[in-house]
Amino acid sequence: MSNRPMKSRQVNVYPRFERFWHWTQMALIFFLLFTGFAIHGLHHLIPFKPAVMLHTIAALLLLTVWIFVTFWLFTTGTWRQFLPRIKGMIPVARFYAFGVFKGEEHPYHKTMWRKLNPLQAATYFAVKWFIFPAIWGSGLLYLTYNFWDGIPNSGFWITLVANLHLLAAFAILSFVIVHVYLLTIGDGFRKHVQPMVTGFDDVALTPEQEAYLEQNEPWRLKG
Partner 1 sequence: MLSRMRLAVAILGFGLAAATPTFAETVQTGAVPPPPAPASVAKASVANTSTADHSKFEILQKAFASGPEVTAACLTCHTEADDEIMHSIHFQWSYESQSGQTLGKRNVINSFCGSVSSNEPRCTSCHAGYGWDDMAEAPPAQETAADCLACHDRTGQYTKTATGAGHPPLAPVKPGTLTITGAAAWPVDLAKAAQSVGMPGRDNCGNCHFYGGGGDNVKHGDLSSALYEPPLEVDVHMSPDGENMTCSTCHVEEQHQWAGSRYDVIAADHPDIAPGGPRETASCESCHSETPHEALSLDGMKLNDHTDVLACQTCHIPEFARGGAPTKTLWDWSTAGRLDETGKPIVESDWISPTTGEHFHTYMSKKGDFDWGEDVVPYYAWFDGHVEYTLPGQTLDPDQVVEINRITGDAEDGVSRIWPFKRMAGRQPFDSGNNTLVATHIWGPTTDTAFWTNFDWAKSVEAGMAAMGADYSGEYGFIDTQMYWPITHMVAPAEDAVRCAACHAQEGRLVGLAGIYMPGSNPNSIVGILGVLMVLATFLGVLGHGLLRLVSRKKGGSHE
Q: Exposed (0-12), middle (13-18) or buried (19+): which is 144, by Cβ within 10 Å?
A: exposed
Instruction: Determine which residue in the list 171, 183, 196, 221 makes contact with partner 1, applying CB under 8 A.
Output: 171
- Which of 19, 24, 25, 40 forms a contact with partner 1 (CB under 8 A)? 40
Q: What one-character-per-residue DSSP string does 21-69 give?
A: HHHHHHHHHHHHHHHHHHHHTS--SS-HHHHHHHHHHHHHHHHHHHHHH
The distance in angstroms from the start CA to the end CA of the chain is: 24
Asked if 223 is part of the footprint of partner 1 (rule: CB under 8 A), the reply reads no
Contact string (CB under 8 A) for partner 1, positions 79-98, x = contact: -----------------x--
CB of 45 to partner 1, least distance (A): 13
- Which of the stretches 1-9, 38-46, 132-140, 194-202 binds partner 1 when contact is defined by CB under 8 A? 38-46
Q: By CB under 8 A, is residue 194 in contact with partner 1?
A: no
**Shortest Cβ 141–partner 1 spacing (Å):** 12
Q: Is residue 42 near partner 1 by the rule CB under 8 A?
A: yes
Among 146, 215, 216, 223, binds partner 1 (CB under 8 A): 146
Residue 10 has what DSSP assignment?
A: E
Angstrom distance (rounded) from CA 35 to CA 43: 9
Contact residues for 116 (Cβ-Cβ < 8 A; gap 6+): 81, 82, 124
Closest CA to 201 of 118, 119, 109, 124: 109
Binding site for partner 1 (CB under 8 A): 39-42, 47-49, 52-53, 56-57, 96, 100-105, 145-146, 149-150, 153-155, 158-159, 162-163, 166-167, 169-171, 173-174, 177-178, 181, 184-185, 188
